[in-house]
Amino acid sequence: MSAHHPIRPADPALLHLTGRQLTELIIELRTEGREFGLLWPSAHPGESNLAGRRLVSLGNVPASTLINLLALLREYKRDRDRCSDS
């Protein structure tokens, strides 16, 4: 997984993700994104948000979006930490 090579929504590898794996990705995104204001306290696979839209759903918000966002956050933090060590 790389921010420079994002996963496409139709990537066949995503078809094998279970609800538990999606939940773990959501928890990781909450943890990694907290300092950037990415707070999804009600996020669960298939749960609706306040507007009635799916927050995380393979039909509306592809799992690839979650994975790619995590990749961007990790890369940003890696670069930031590397610059602060210099």
Confidence of residue 66 (pLDDT cuts 50, 70, 90): confident
Name the band, by pLDDT with cuts 50, 70 and 90, for residue 75. Answer: very high
The pLDDT of residue 40 is 61
The pLDDT tens digits for 24-58 are 888 888 888 888 877 666 555 554 443 544 445 43
Residues counted in the chain: 86
* Side-chain half-sphere exposure of 62, counting CA atoms within 13 A: 14
**Domain contains 27:** yes
Residue with tokens 């930490």: 81
How many separate domains does the chain show? 1
Q: Residue 46 falls within a domain, yes or no?
A: yes
5 in any annotated domain: no
Determine the structural domain holding residue 16 and report its residue range.
12-85
